[in-house]
Structure 1
Amino acid sequence: MSCLPDYPLILAVVGPPGDGKSFQTAAALNTAGFVAFRFSSSELGGRSEGRPVEQLRSLYKRAAQHAEVDNSYPVLVLEDFDLGPAGRDRNARYTVNSQLLTGFLMNLADDVRMCDVGTSQRFPIVLTTNDLSTLHGPLTRPGRMRVFTWEPTVAERAEMIYSALHGRVPGLTAEQVEKLCARYQGLSVAAISSALVECLGDKVFDFVSQHPQMGIVEAQRRYANGGGWVTLEEIEDALQRRRLTRRRLTFFRAGGE
């Protein structure tokens, strides 16, 4: 990008929540040999006006310093960008910070030299977001931003879920994961990860109850060292419990008794 001054500086990776946009982006950058400077956009903010701009400017400066010292090529990754100050609800006006942050990103995309970031080099900025429509229109125009829609196929989602589970479920096969995805249409990677964490937590508490003389930290360490295995049936039970909980929440929100 530094050799292509007219190429859009910003890449927006847009897709539904929980499908691995941020994780896969970081993994792809790492595999390609880039240095990813990751920052959760929910951390952008502060009481004072202009604070998000200063945070982003500082991140860009750190990337520039890293490139100069290590002779590497950095990429800034702002995760969940629509949840930060630059995003807005459909019926809400832009805040001062959202306008300042959006303007700063537009200036970076147009000419880095006028942004006081300690360098004239253009480092790619990747935004992961669930909803591009919450961002200011001029920021998303083709000259500043390129949009990549994250739409994993059934096979790709199954592969990601297999990668998340195979280290914890003994004897797991790709065919079993494909059947799991078929039973739970639209199953997200985040849902599987949450179910796995829930199962592991249950195992740790069971281990603690069987060894009451241990503290929970020590029990967790010993259980993890012992393998920390779970079964696919336990994963499915956790998914069913989560589905039932969501149904109950929907029922109560609808005024049920």
Structure 2
Amino acid sequence: MCCLFINDLDAGAGRLGGTTQYTVNNQMVNATLMNIADNPTNVQLPGMYNKQENPRVPIIVTGNDFSTLYAPLIRDGRMEKFYWAPTREDRIGVCTGIFRTDNVPNEDIVKLVDTFPGQSIDFFGALRARVYDDEVRKWVGDIGVDKVGKKLVNSLEGPPTFEQPKMNLDTLMEYGNMLVKEQENVKRVQLADKYLSEAALGDANADAMNTGAFYQ
């Protein structure tokens, strides 16, 4: 038995706002998937007209926002939709795999997950990557930016080596709080843009300004 797995279908076949072009390729993907869903035992290649039915092949797709897909493709009967929200145990299990090579104790992983309960799984992967990124930044700062090229390209000393950074609960908490602050800054900028667009000189009073009822 086999299956067709499509990862992040909405990123390729979906429409993300008015700036996304809807090309012939998008139409062919949607039409092909709809045809397979409607006739799963009669899938033909171009130029083939076989009367013999073929075995059904399940199609599994993943995505972040299926509302961007062609609506008839995701209607009931063509697609069974499942929303996966990881439980606390799921998050602990995934984080255990993320930090396995770093020898982080299980009790520290549990505390880390419980400290950031509203964060996605990617948050913890980014947290770990940030620790390693800082080690690279320290290396660049030590040798100087102007010497990075000589160290990396055709170096007689060979490629640079790094010691595995030691990760403990305090370090992970520190980097986790840094990521949370970055998220808050992004939200703050978005809220500021929204506020400015709806302020006294923004779009909220456009009608009053056009009719002369708004006194400047």
Instruction: Report the equivalent of 1:127.
Output: 61
- TM-score (structure 2 length as normaliser): 0.67
Q: Does 1:166 align with 2:95?
A: no
Larger Cα Rg: Structure 1 or Structure 2? Answer: 2
- 1 CA distance for matches of 2:75 and 2:100? 41
Distance 1:230 1:102, change over 3 A: same
SS of 1:186's equivalent in the other structure is coil
The equivalences for 1:14-163 within 5 A come to 73-85=1-13, 87-89=14-16, 95-97=22-24, 98-111=26-39, 113-116=42-45, 120-163=54-97
Of 188, 198, 203, the match for 2:120: 188
Show structure 1 runs of 5+ residues with no match: 1-72
The count of corresponding residues between Structure 1 and Structure 2 is 178
Contact 1:161 1:177 (C-alpha < 8 Å) held by counterparts: yes
Contact 1:104 1:115 (C-alpha < 8 Å) held by counterparts: no
Distance 1:176 1:231, change over 3 A: closer
- 2 CA distance for matches of 1:103 and 1:154? 39
Q: Does 1:204 align with 2:132?
A: no
Distance 1:188 1:93, change over 3 A: closer
CA positional deviation for 1:240: 1.6
Contact 1:80 1:129 (C-alpha < 8 Å) held by counterparts: yes
Distance 1:122 1:229, change over 3 A: farther
1:9-63 CA-partner distances (Å, limit 9, x unpaired): xxxxxxxxxxxxxxxxxxxxxxxxxxxxxxxxxxxxxxxxxxxxxxxxxxxxxxx
Instruction: Report the equivalent of 2:200.
Output: none
Higher alpha-carbon deviation: 185-194 or 204-213: 204-213
- TM-score (structure 1 length as normaliser): 0.57
Distance 1:149 1:157, change over 3 A: same
CA RMSD, Structure 1 to Structure 2 (Å)? 3.3
Instruction: Report the equivalent of 2:175.
Output: 238
Contact 1:160 1:189 (C-alpha < 8 Å) held by counterparts: yes
1:156-186 CA-partner distances (Å, limit 9, x unpaired): 1111112101212x3x232222221221122
- 2 CA distance for matches of 1:101 and 1:78? 11
1:48-103 CA-partner distances (Å, limit 9, x unpaired): xxxxxxxxxxxxxxxxxxxxxxxxx4332211111222x23588999354443211
Which of the two has greater strand per residue? Answer: 1
- 2 CA distance for matches of 1:110 and 1:165? 44
- Indicate the percent of aligned positions where both proteins have the same amino acid: 24
- 2 CA distance for matches of 1:205 and 1:108? 50
Contact 1:75 1:125 (C-alpha < 8 Å) held by counterparts: yes
Distance 1:75 1:156, change over 3 A: same
- 2 CA distance for matches of 1:205 and 1:185? 29
Show structure 2 runs of 5+ residues with no match: 154-158, 197-216
Contact 2:112 2:169 (C-alpha < 8 Å) held by counterparts: no
| Counterpart residue identity of residue 110, structure 2 | E
Distance 1:242 1:102, change over 3 A: same
